[in-house]
Structure formats: C-alpha cells, structure tokens
Structure 1
Amino acid sequence: MTHTTNDQPARRVSGAVVPVLAFAGIVVAVMQTLLVPVIKDLPQLLDTAPSNATWVLTSTLLSGAVATPIMGRLGDLYGKRRMLIVSISLMVVGALVSALTSTLLPMIAGRTLQGFAMGAIPLGIGLMRDMLPREKLGSAMALMSSSIGVGGGLALPLAALVAQHADWHALFYGAAGLGVLSIALTLLVVPESPMRAEGSFDVLGAIGLSAGLVLFLLPITKGSDWGWTSGTTLGMFGAAAVVLVLWGVYELRSKAPLVDLRTTARPAVLFTNLASIMVGVSFYVVSLVLPQLLQLPKATGYGLGQSMVVAGLLVAPLGLTMMVTAPVYARLSAKYGPKVTLILGMLIIAIGYGAGLGLMSAAWQSLVISVVLGAGIGLAYSSLPALIVGAVPASETGAANGLNTLMRSIGTSVSSAVIGMVLANTAQNVGGVAIPTMHGFRVSFLIATGAVAIGLLMALFLPKPDRAPRLRASSEEEAALERAEEVLRGFRGRVLDAEGAPVARAKVTLIDRRGRQAGATLSEPDGSYLLAVPSEGAYVLAARAVGHGPLASAATHSGEERAVDVDLALPGESVSA
C-alpha cells in the first residue's frame, strides 16, 4: 500500500510559491551558465590539457542527465519538496567544493554534484500541479519551464563581469549563496505535496538508465576529441544501444518502474518528448554562436569586436524575453491549447534563425535575433510541461517531467557536439589559433532551422488540443462530465469542508478490504471527485487536503455498472500557516 502524505503541518498555498519555485529554476540555470565566460581559459586556470578541461563541463551534463529522471521519480515517491531541497543542497556542496579548488579532479567532483540541481525543474513543475488551481497552473508552469532560459540570460553578463573583474572562484561562491537562499525560501514558503506514487524506488532501473545515458552522452560530448569514427566512440554508442534496450525490456516488466514506458509511448508524451529534443537543439545554437560572433575582433572582417560583458548583455534578452512570454503563453494556451502554442513557438524560432542568416553584420542585429528567438523558445518551452501534465496521471508528474527535461538536455548536448564540430571544421587558422568563420556560423543557424522544422513536424503529430490539460476555469464542469461518462462503476461525490463549501485538489484515495490502494484522484475545483472500483465489495474512501483534517469513510459497492454517491466532509483543522 502506498503512503499518501507526510506529517507536515497543513498550510495554505501562498502566492509566493510560484516565484520561489521559479527562482529555484533560475538558480539551476545560473549553475549551468556559470563557466561560459571562462571556458577558453579553463586549461590555464586548472593547469591541465584542453581535452581534460572539457570534463569540467561534461561532468555536469552527465550528472544532470542522470539525476533529472531519478529525482523526478524519488519526488513522486517520497515528496517533491523534499527532493527539491536535496537537489539544490547537492548543488551548494558542489559549488563550495569547486570554489575551494584550482585543480582538475576536485573541480570535476564539484561540478558533478552541481549537475544534480537539474532535478529541480521537473520537481518544481510537479509541485505546481499538485498545489495550484487550474486557472493558475498554465502561467506558473510556463514560468518554471522558461526559468532555465531566464537564469541563463541573466547569468551570462553577470558571470562575464565577475570573471573580468574578480577571482573566477567568486562565481562558485555566488552560485552557492543563491542555492542557500533558494533552500531557505523553499522551506519557508513551499508546503510539501500530499501526492505520492505507488511502489518503491527502482534501483536497478536507475542504474541501467544512468549507465545507458553516460554511454550515449559521453561519445557525443567527447567525439571531437576521440574522433567520431574511433573504436572508443563507436563502441560506446553500440554499448549505449544495448544497455538502453535491455533497460527498456526490464522497465516494461517491472511492477514499479523508474520510467513508465507505456505512458511514455502515448502519442501525447512521445511526440512532446521528440519535439523537446529539437527545442533543446535550437535553444543551444544561439547561445553558442552569438557570443562568439560578437566577441571576434573586427579585423576578421565579420567579427563585431565587443567585450565579453557587452556580448553577454546583447544575448541576455534571449532569457528575458522567455520570461515575458510566460503570461502571454498562458492566455494563448487557455484559448487554443498548448499544442497550438508549441507550433507557434516553433514557427517564431524558425523565423528568428532564418532572419539571423542575414542579420549578422552589426551588434544591434544580435539583439533583434535574441528577442525573436527568446519569444519563440519561451512559447515552445512553456508548452512542453503543459502537454506532459495533460497526458500522465498526477502520481507520475515528477518522473514524466523529469524525462521531458532530460530530452531537452539531450537536445542541448547533441547541439553542443554538432555545432562544436561544425565550427571546428570550418575554422581558419590565424597565427596558430583556430578562429570560427562566418560560413561556420551560417551553417550552425541552418542546422538549428532544420531541427526546428523536425520539431514542428513532431508537434503536428500531437493529439488534438482537447487531450492537453484543461487550464481554464470555464472547462472544469465539462471535464467532470466527461469523466463521469468514462467511469460508470465506482464512487462519486464532492469533498466539502466543515461549513459545506467545496474543497478543491483534495486527494481522495480508495482502499480495498486488504488495505491496499485501489485508486486515487484529486477533487475538481467544485469539490467533485470520481473513482472507479475494480470489483464489488467494501472499501474505505480516505480524503486529505491542505488546511483540513483527514477523513476515512467506509463505503460499499454492489458491482453494478453505476457510480455510488458518497460525499466526503473533511473535519475542520487549523488553517493558519
């Protein structure tokens, strides 16, 4: 039997929950962007070879890819807030380790721990789903999803400023400070979600997925160093395929899998994840190309000769525009559905890269490209969690969004490897230094446009918008009616408080005579709930909600094809913070 809640005191959901969770996402982005201004100097700073210095970035990527789905699943099982705090705590420890060293191995260890912060994004989205009313959920998830871009956009010029005028270790102290602030705010403002998934943690599945991802991502990130046709690169890709296939077979047979592959195979989830990879590719290309173009000296004939800080400021609108699009997305999604906003976002990205091919001759043009691409990527990123949330059960939100975040990470990894290879192969040697060419930049933009076209195709295959989450208050009664038609044999009714007012988002759990969970749901905004029963017999309906006492009510179903009406009146309990 699954446990449905922890013993944390019930609290009202404060209006500060969304900004606090979004701030956690921004902290993650800062951690990722931290070293961008000093990438070229890392070999000298760490007194090591350039091929070794790249492990400082690769280690964070790998640990982030592994941690994202695992933290999502642990959150579903043991509490999303708890795992959010664990993720950011590991990042703080990692940042402090990196801040205190100038040697390679401790730096890699610190950066590996920092990668665990990536789990904060799906955990934050899961917490929002569990706590927020439907009408606020769309814009909240959009803000959380785009916080990666927002944080990256803001961190780039700030990190450049610190790197130019202070000891580079100050970057890590800053990240640790932001992490501590995020943990403190989360503890103060964000209540734990009462939602829990069934089952136990799939340790073997976690090991299998971790091994498969490392074997897949390592040759992608190191292929240019090892050689794309070398035995090591091809051997790792082959091993990754074998491990991931075996992992998939094991997961399908597991009673409590790390990732429910049957859910993942649903068209709404599958095509969203495939589109996510392409959005990840397109997001990273602009981050790689524009700063280099802006900083190249004018003597090259095409470089724009800007300082590191000015280049960061000109690219910063990419993240800021993503933040501005979150409320715009909520309005568009409420009217047309997240599928339409994803398609619109992809089209805007395509326009941005297409226009970018002819807008590379002045610094102000980079600003235009950043704003247009930021708007498109913001709309696309905001749509992804809404599509996932609408296609999976509430108990799988963390794991499903973790997998979706992983798909975006795979997109950025592939993008980094491919664009790095393109720029290296098209570079010209000037005084023994390889300098990227305008041809390389244009080819990179064409690759991004191609990725967006593939993503657009995937988005068109998504099921009709009515399969996506209903984020409008006006559709709630319609949703309840649809569910009532779907389930005939079961229990239905309303969850009410001590005064008879409806209680929204109360967790209602159906327990059979053996004490096992037979079903669970969340009440609608009008308090209504509906649960199917597997067979006739005696059951217990247990209800819990933030700010109310728990209730257990005995109920019997005769097994006929009808729903038995059972209203659940929650006893009063202290609703103070």
Structure 2
Amino acid sequence: MAGTHQRTDYRVTFVVLCAGVAAFSLLQSMVNPVLPTIEAALDTDQATVTWVLTAYLLSASVCTPIIGRIGDKVGKERMLVFALSALAVGSLLAALAPSIGVLIVARAIQGIGGGVLPLTFGIIRDEFPRDKVAGAVGTSAALLAVGGGFGLVLAGPIVDALSYHWLFWLPMIMTVLAALAAHRYVPESPERTPGRINVTSALLMSTWLVTLLLAVSQGHSWGWASPVTVGLFAATAVALPVWVWAEARSDSPLIDMRMMRIPTVWTVNLVALLFGMGMYSMFAFLPQFLQTPELTGYGFGATVTQSGLLLLPQTVATFLAGVFSGRLAVRFGSKAVLVAGAGLTSIGTLGLVVAHDALWLVVAETTLLGLAFGLAFAALSNLIVDAVPQSQTGVASGMNANIRTVGGALGSAVLASVVTANARPDGLPVEAGYTNGFTVLVVTSALAALVAVFVPVVKARTHVVAGPQADAEADAEAEAAAVASAVRP
C-alpha cells in the first residue's frame, strides 16, 4: 500500500502517472470535433453547446494550481487519487447525461482532474533518481500534447463506430484503473509544505481566472464591446491586483509571490503564455482548416475522421520529441531545448502561411509543429521543476500549466476573430482569414523563442539519490538561492 516502508519502483509509478495524464489530455480534445453531434443529440444550440468546452476550461484553470498546492501540503498521492476520482465521476456523469445542462456540470467536474498535471511533476521529483527526472517530466509533459492530438484522431472513429457517449466511457475506464493503481502503487509524498490552505486567496484567484477566461472564450460570440464582456474584463482588472496584493501580504499564500518573481519562473511563464497561444490555437483551427470544403479554393474537404488521421504524424512527432527531450536537456540544457521548440513552432507556422495549397505540405508543416510542441512542452516543465524548491513543485508547475491554458484561450479568441473577420457569402471564412490568423501565431511563436533566449539558466542539482528522499541540504540551498534571486534588485 502507499505509504509503506517498501516504496514502489519508480518505473511502476511512472506508468500509473502517465495513464492519468493521458486520460485527462484525451478529455481536453476529444469533445471538440464532435460538438455538432452533441448539439443535435441533446437538442440544443451552438451557443449553449460551446459551454461543454468552456465549463471544462474554467474548472481546470481554477483547480489545477489549487490542487497542486494542496498536494504540496497534505500529500501528492492522496490528491492524485482525488483528482483521478473526480475525472472518473465527471466522465461517468457525462456518458449518462440526459441533457446539455447535466453534460456541462459533468465537464466542470472533469476539470478538477487538471490537478493530475502538477501532482505528476511533483511525484516524479519526489520519487525518481535525479538523473531520471528530466526525461520523466519531459515524457509526461509531452503526453499532454500527445493526448490532445490523439483526441482529435480518435474522436471521429469512436463516434462513427459507437456513439459520442464513448468519448466519456473510454477515458472513465482508464481513469478508474489509474486511480486504483495510484492508491495501490504510488508512494505518499516525503515532502510536505507546512501551513494552512488560504481559502481567501483561492477565491480571489478563482475570481480573476474565471472572469478573464469567460470574457476571452465567449467574447467572440457575445461581442467584444458588449456590456457583459467589458464588465468581465473590468472585474479581472480589479480582482487580479487585489489577489497579488493579498498573496504578497499573506503569511500562508496559495501562490508564493517570491517564487513567482524568481527570474527563471516568470520568464518561463511568459514563454508558456505565448507558446500556449500558438499550440492550443493550432489544435482548434487546423482541423477546421482541413475540413473546409474544396469549393472554397483552399480547403481540402476532409471529414472529422480524415482530418484527425492527417494530424496523426503531428501527434507521433510530439510523442517522440517528448521521449527524447530528457536526453537532449541533459546534453544541451532545457533552455536550449525550449528555444529550439519555440523557434521550430515559428518556422512551422510560417510554412502554413506561405505554403498551404497542397495536402502533403500541410502534413509536413504540422509534423514539424508536433516536433516543436513536444520539445517545448517538456522543456517548460523541466525548467519550472528545476527552478523552485521541492516543496513548491506542485503549485509552480500547476501555475505554469494554467498560464499555458490562459494563453491558449487568448490565442483561440484572437484567431477566431481574425479568421472570421471576412466571410464568403456561404458563411465560410475566406482564405486570407486563415493566412492572417497563422501570421499572428508566427509572431507569438517568434516572441516565445525570443523570451526563451533570455531565460536564466538554473544550475540543476546533479547528485543522484539511491532512494526517493532528496538531499535536504541541497533543497535548503536551492530554496535560499531561489528567494535571494527573487528579491535581488
């Protein structure tokens, strides 16, 4: 059982963690291509069915850093089982949902599973030999992007062969097995952060995240100048600085602002914001681009299933890049891997701008993007894990994942506005809409690469531990160095 003296082999732990991350990442993307099917099956409209995505986004954004922080305090294994259980319950409710309202609630419950990500990184840091941490973090981080890609690939065939309900049944089965295995095989955390959970801070953070993401994700349909959208942005402008002020003054902050001011942390988070704008927007708009009818003169008329299969090489490239990123990080450093990933993203997106008239070109460019995504995702996570004290791994990686999500929401909103700015008489976007949208992502990716060049290099601890316990003196030194760099003028 977890917590016993004889600790599980770290390789068994890794398999369990990967299963949890894979289930969460599949649920992020599998639903997107089949929203029209769900809309028809549950007799609703397009505006309402988009809340199936929005509810998941909002819930995951709020829960990811909070559950990561609670895991740092009360135990990562315990919170991992909780997050996986919530994911399973949400999936069960979604599979059985008789109405769109129930499905939206179910998706909000699934969002709690976002805590799987920071907990996974924290457990890897606690349990793995030091020379295996970079590779394991890289592979599990890449699984998030891989799962997103496979979700697009699998959605069509699953719905065609079974029904959309199986988009929830299959992840539920995976998640139940992962939760049981986590309880049985994942050891309890040797590292704990003392202190209480700051409920006021959690509420303030939830307020600005929800108001910001709601405005960004719904602004296109509500109207950017509508009173509701403007009011939500105004509420964010008030809640965000109040949250920062409250955290800075708290003796038990949810997010330690000294940690957030560490040069490596804030620069990597800025890269994550810019990179998230490009990556998640590509996941959202590439299938639409491929599915555009040929009569437009630029589309390929692919079905949902065909567009997923055309993006399969991208997904495979992401996985392979994530697997090898650890070795590349050991040889060249995570910063170099991040610069390469962001730079390749910019090059691949530029390819889509200038040459998208042949299917083989689009497949080649998206495969290059997959390679870039895998490298950058892994490097972002490794840089954050190396930069913070071990006791703050969960909350730091949770906030980094969150900032990527915020970037994705911003990027998708901007791209939606640019792509649909001019439409054909039949309502489809003109070719220039996609060209201009991809150009925006070239700029954000290039900026991400530029910021990555200036990320300060953290000297990673190179000692290898025989067991799961980290060298306490090294952690103390790392924490002291982190705080010193944060407050240094």
User: TM-score range with shorter-chain normalisation?
Assistant: over 0.9
Match of 2:442 among 443, 449, 458: 449
Q: Partner of 1:72: helix, strand, or coil?
A: helix
- Please give the per-residue CA displacement for 1:226-254, whole angstroms capped at 9, x wherever unaligned: 21011211111111111111111111111
Distance 1:385 1:119 in 2: 15
Q: Which residue of 2 aligns with 1:220?
A: 216
Note the C-alpha offset of 1:309. 1.1
- Please give the per-residue CA displacement for 1:4-32, whole angstroms capped at 9, x wherever unaligned: xx954431433222232122111111111
Note the C-alpha offset of 1:504. 4.8
Runs of at least 5 residues in structure 1 that lack an aligned partner in the other structure: 1-5, 478-501, 509-519, 524-528, 534-577
Residues 505/162 of structure 1: CA separation in 2 closer, same or farther (3 Å cut) = closer
Q: Structure 2: which amino acid aligns with 1:103?
A: S
Report if the CA contact (8 A) 1:342-1:380 is conserved.
yes
Residues 437/531 of structure 1: CA separation in 2 closer, same or farther (3 Å cut) = closer
Give the length in aligned residue pairs.
479
Q: Partner of 2:387: helix, strand, or coil?
A: coil
Q: Which residue of 2 aligns with 1:484?
A: none
Q: Which residue of 2 aligns with 1:573?
A: none
Q: Which residue of 2 aligns with 1:516?
A: none
Distance 2:459 2:236 in 1: 33
1:58 aligns with 2:54: yes
Distance 1:303 1:438 in 2: 8
Q: Which residue of 1 aligns with 2:197?
A: 201
Distance 1:86 1:320 in 2: 30
Q: Structure 2: which amino acid aligns with 1:476?
A: H
Match of 1:374 among 370, 376, 379: 370
Report if the CA contact (8 A) 1:279-1:411 is conserved.
yes
Runs of at least 5 residues in structure 2 that lack an aligned partner in the other structure: 481-489
Distance 2:470 2:340 in 1: 35
Note the C-alpha offset of 1:439. 1.1
Q: Which residue of 1 aligns with 2:104?
A: 108
1:117 aligns with 2:103: no
Q: Structure 2: which amino acid aligns with 1:458?
A: V
Match of 1:438 among 428, 431, 455: 431
Match of 1:469 among 460, 463, 471: 460
* Structure with higher RCO (Cα < 8 A, 6+ apart): 2
- Please give the per-residue CA displacement for 1:309-343, whole angstroms capped at 9, x wherever unaligned: 12101112222211101233222211221111111
Q: Structure 2: which amino acid aligns with 1:259?
A: I
Q: Which residue of 1 aligns with 2:359?
A: 363
1:156 aligns with 2:152: yes
Match of 1:350 among 342, 346, 349: 346
Note the C-alpha offset of 1:531. 11
Residues 506/165 of structure 1: CA separation in 2 closer, same or farther (3 Å cut) = closer
Report if the CA contact (8 A) 1:149-1:318 is conserved.
no
Distance 2:218 2:126 in 1: 40
Distance 2:156 2:173 in 1: 18
Q: Partner of 1:428: helix, strand, or coil?
A: coil
Match of 2:228 among 227, 232, 238: 232
Distance 1:313 1:184 in 2: 32
Kindly report the root-mean-square deviation, in angstroms, between the aligned alpha carbons of the 2 structures: 2.1
Distance 2:162 2:420 in 1: 30
- Please give the per-residue CA displacement for 1:428-485, whole angstroms capped at 9, x wherever unaligned: 231xxx212221111121111111122122212211x2x1534xxxx439xxxxxxxx
Note the C-alpha offset of 1:297. 2.0
Distance 2:167 2:258 in 1: 43
Distance 2:479 2:94 in 1: 53
Note the C-alpha offset of 1:115. 0.9
Distance 1:101 1:451 in 2: 39
Q: Which residue of 2 aligns with 1:3?
A: none
Distance 1:217 1:507 in 2: 38
Q: Structure 1: which amino acid aligns with 2:469?
A: A
Residues 531/83 of structure 1: CA separation in 2 closer, same or farther (3 Å cut) = closer
Match of 1:26 among 19, 22, 29: 22
Report if the CA contact (8 A) 2:3-2:187 is conserved.
no
Report if the CA contact (8 A) 2:63-2:114 is conserved.
yes
Q: Which residue of 2 aligns with 1:552?
A: none
Distance 2:127 2:149 in 1: 29
Residues 9/428 of structure 1: CA separation in 2 closer, same or farther (3 Å cut) = farther
Note the C-alpha offset of 1:181. 2.0
1:291 aligns with 2:287: yes
Q: Structure 2: which amino acid aligns with 1:56?
A: V
Note the C-alpha offset of 1:285. 2.5
Note the C-alpha offset of 1:522. 6.2
Match of 1:414 among 407, 410, 413: 410
Note the C-alpha offset of 1:301. 1.6
Note the C-alpha offset of 1:132. 0.8
Looking at CA atoms only, which structure, 1 or 2, has the larger radius of gyration?
1
Q: Partner of 1:15: helix, strand, or coil?
A: helix
Between structures 1 and 2, the one with greater helix share: 2
Q: Partner of 1:18: helix, strand, or coil?
A: helix
Match of 1:13 among 9, 18, 22: 9
Residues 222/452 of structure 1: CA separation in 2 closer, same or farther (3 Å cut) = same
Taking structure 1 as the reference length, the TM-score comes to 0.79
Distance 1:173 1:12 in 2: 29
Q: Which residue of 2 aligns with 1:131?
A: 127
Note the C-alpha offset of 1:416. 1.6
Identical-residue share of aligned pairs (%): 34
- Please give the per-residue CA displacement for 1:494-534, whole angstroms capped at 9, x wherever unaligned: xxxxxxxx8555357xxxxxxxxxxx5568xxxxx98999x
Report if the CA contact (8 A) 1:293-1:303 is conserved.
yes
Q: Structure 2: which amino acid aligns with 1:469?
A: A
Q: Which residue of 2 aligns with 1:506?
A: 469
Report if the CA contact (8 A) 2:389-2:478 is conserved.
no
Match of 1:74 among 50, 70, 79: 70
Distance 1:407 1:531 in 2: 24
Q: Which residue of 1 aligns with 2:487?
A: none
Within-5 A mapping of 1:256-295 = 256-295=252-291
Q: Which residue of 2 aligns with 1:38?
A: 34
Q: Which residue of 2 aligns with 1:560?
A: none
- Please give the per-residue CA displacement for 1:161-186, whole angstroms capped at 9, x wherever unaligned: 11223221121111211211221332
Q: Which residue of 2 aligns with 1:398?
A: 394
Report if the CA contact (8 A) 1:352-1:369 is conserved.
yes
Distance 2:437 2:397 in 1: 29
Q: Structure 2: which amino acid aligns with 1:325?
A: A
Q: Which residue of 1 aligns with 2:247?
A: 251
Q: Which residue of 2 aligns with 1:189?
A: 185
Residues 295/503 of structure 1: CA separation in 2 closer, same or farther (3 Å cut) = closer
Note the C-alpha offset of 1:424. 2.2
Q: Structure 2: which amino acid aligns with 1:232?
A: V
- Please give the per-residue CA displacement for 1:115-165, whole angstroms capped at 9, x wherever unaligned: 111111111011001111111111100011111111122222211111223
- Please give the per-residue CA displacement for 1:261-292, whole angstroms capped at 9, x wherever unaligned: 11101110001001001111111222123211
Distance 1:88 1:243 in 2: 30
Report if the CA contact (8 A) 1:25-1:147 is conserved.
yes
Distance 1:115 1:235 in 2: 25
Taking structure 2 as the reference length, the TM-score comes to 0.93
Residues 427/390 of structure 1: CA separation in 2 closer, same or farther (3 Å cut) = same
Distance 1:319 1:126 in 2: 25
- Please give the per-residue CA displacement for 1:40-88, whole angstroms capped at 9, x wherever unaligned: 3443222223212211110000000000100100110111111111111
Match of 2:309 among 299, 310, 313: 313
Which has the higher mean CA deviation after the structures are superposed, 286-295 or 252-261?
Answer: 286-295
Note the C-alpha offset of 1:96. 1.1
Q: Structure 1: which amino acid aligns with 2:443?
A: G
Q: Structure 2: which amino acid aligns with 1:306?
A: A
Distance 2:477 2:261 in 1: 26
Which has the higher mean CA deviation after the structures are superposed, 322-331 or 64-73?
Answer: 322-331
